[in-house]
Chains A and B, each alone.
Chain A
């Protein structure tokens, strides 16, 4: 059973460009969480999605950030008009059901904005 897949592993964008980060959850998992890790910091929750639904986006910046988890295909975290402060590692985690289960993390995408 393949683990959580994220791609790309490294992404470099110039200021003002768009960044698209992809996450394929583990097989059978329908719950996806996105977290952001700034240098020397712990992970901060951004958004929680189930298939075709955003359940909680309380950790997501109101501007420029969006997320989706379509019926088919991976979950996408999209950052429009990136700025230097968006440079961070973005982690995706999945679980088979909500609430109490262990979350399985992907290897992360390191975004660098130049």
Chain B
């Protein structure tokens, strides 16, 4: 089955602290992309970071970085120096693969940031 699992429905972090959101996935393919999307209360889906499975180096985007463990099929998101604006739903996703490209999403983790 093609699934993406986020085991933490809700997380909380203190402003300026670091938080890690977990994600595991299932796939039989060797080549694929993984994504973290942020959905604030406006509901707009915003791409936070992407990882290409064939790249061993973990992707980073400013305060956001991933820990990609291909053998374990794990793709966690680390947010450093958390800010109030980071509060949102975070969705992990992978592309379906082949020539299709449609995304499979997890159920999301609601992140709260305490001042």
Measured CB to CB, the residues of A under 8 A from B are: 31, 33, 35, 40-45, 48, 55-56, 59, 89, 91, 93, 95, 98-103, 105, 107-108, 110
Contact = CB atoms under 8 A, between A and B. Distances in A.
Contacts of B107: 40-42
Contacts of B44: 105, 107-108
Closest 7 CB pairs between A and B? A42-B105, A105-B45, A45-B102, A43-B105, A99-B101, A42-B107, A98-B101
Interface of B: 4, 33, 35, 37, 42-47, 50, 52, 91, 93, 95-96, 98-108
B35 to A, nearest CB: 8
Q: Please report whether the interface of chain A is mostly helix, strand, loop or mixed according to DSSP.
A: strand
Contacts of B106: 42
Nearest to A59: B102
A102 B101 contact: no
A77 to B, nearest CB: 14
Contacts of A102: 35, 47, 50
A99 B98 contact: yes
Contact of A99 (B95, B104, B105, B108): B95
A44 B106 CA distance: 9
A42 B50 contact: no
Contacts of B103: 33, 35, 43, 45, 93, 103
Contacts of A101: 101
Nearest to B45: A105
